[in-house]
Structure 1
Amino acid sequence: MRCFLPAAVADLGEIAPAIFFSGAPACADTAALRRALPDADDEERELVASLAAADYSALAYESGPARRVVLAADAAVDPAASPQLPCDVTLSEAITWDDVVAILIDEEAAEAAVRAAAGDADALASLEDFDLLWYDVTERGDLAAALQS
């Protein structure tokens, strides 16, 4: 299933075989999300799931370049034990970079808004003004290097 994992800029440089382990939180087009958005199509529900993962990424921001980072991956998932949102799931097994199909990340202009939203759910609304940019997973190394400079 296509899922969206909230991540951090530092995760882009991760070289370990498994980058997220079983039980890691993610967002996906779940049955609960389909019930919550009955008029939405698959693409709209995946957008909702990816933006939810982006919000989780912003809330977890601690240091470094202030960007929301979301990894789109094909992985087996389980329902979240205590979901906050209808798209919340957890990974059933560890995933590697081979499972990741795309990287979604904020443009530089979003940094102030991401810093403001870090740990502040009320400030997340300011992030609606910024689009997540799409990168192919093969661009990960260049993207990590550019963000660390």
Structure 2
Amino acid sequence: MRLYVPATRNDLDTVTTTTARATWPIGPRVAHAVTPALRAELPDEDDEGLEYAAWLAAADDSLGLVLQGASSPLRVVVTVEVPDGVVGTAVESGDDVSSSTVQVTDDVDAQVVCAHVDETDAGPDVLRVGQVAEADLDDALQAVVDRDLLWYDWTELDQAPR
């Protein structure tokens, strides 16, 4: 199953890369995927649009991880393939939980497809979200959302910004 995993830059340091593949040991955690609930929420989207929606939700969750004190102020989304058996329904629920949210239920060596990482100069915008008053939060969030995350193939993870 393809997952979009919100992560931090330090998480990429735990990826093991060989000439044939990259694996990332992950344990129970929140991730995003194309779920039946997401398909129901976006019935007119094709598979690519649904994958993009799940990826965007993972990028939003990555922002939350960074604001919890990650050593690098860059959002990271790691796209992985895992066995279906290690993915369950989301533990969290409520209005703030995306319909793409799933739970990795067991430890697994996930096969890394690629990672998306903020460009280095996005760091100040990302950090600003955690520093502004509520009245300025929408503008700070928009500055982050307007930033593109850069794509890195699994063979290029060592080139991702820190």
TM-score range, shorter chain: 0.7 to 0.9
* 1:25 correspondence with 2:30: yes
More helix by share: 1
How many residue pairs get aligned? The number is: 143
* 1:132 correspondence with 2:137: no
SS at match of 2:122: helix
1:70 aligns to what? 77
Structure 1, gaps ≥5 residues long? none
Deviation at 1:95, TM superposition (A): 3.0
The partner residue of 2:55 within 47, 50, 54 is: 50
- TM-score normalised by structure 2 residue count: 0.77
Contact 1:55 1:124 survives alignment (8 Å): no
Contact 1:29 1:87 survives alignment (8 Å): yes
Deviation at 1:43, TM superposition (A): 0.7
| C-alpha distance in structure 2 between counterparts of 1:64 and 1:118, whole Å | 14
1:82 aligns to what? 92
Contact 2:8 2:70 survives alignment (8 Å): no
Inter-CA distance 109–102: structure 2 relative to 1 (3 Å threshold): same
Contact 1:27 1:89 survives alignment (8 Å): yes
Structure 2, gaps ≥5 residues long? 17-22
Q: Aligned letter for 1:32?
A: A
* 1:117 correspondence with 2:117: no
Deviation at 1:119, TM superposition (A): 8.8
| C-alpha distance in structure 2 between counterparts of 1:35 and 1:117, whole Å | 31
SS at match of 2:145: helix
SS at match of 2:50: helix
Q: Aligned letter for 1:102?
A: C
2:19 aligns to what? none
Q: Deviations over 1:45-84 (max 9, x none)?
A: 1111111111111111114331110110012321102241
| C-alpha distance in structure 1 between counterparts of 2:145 and 2:80, whole Å | 23
The partner residue of 1:91 within 100, 104, 125 is: 104
* 1:101 correspondence with 2:93: no
1:59 aligns to what? 64
**Identity among equivalent pairs (%):** 35
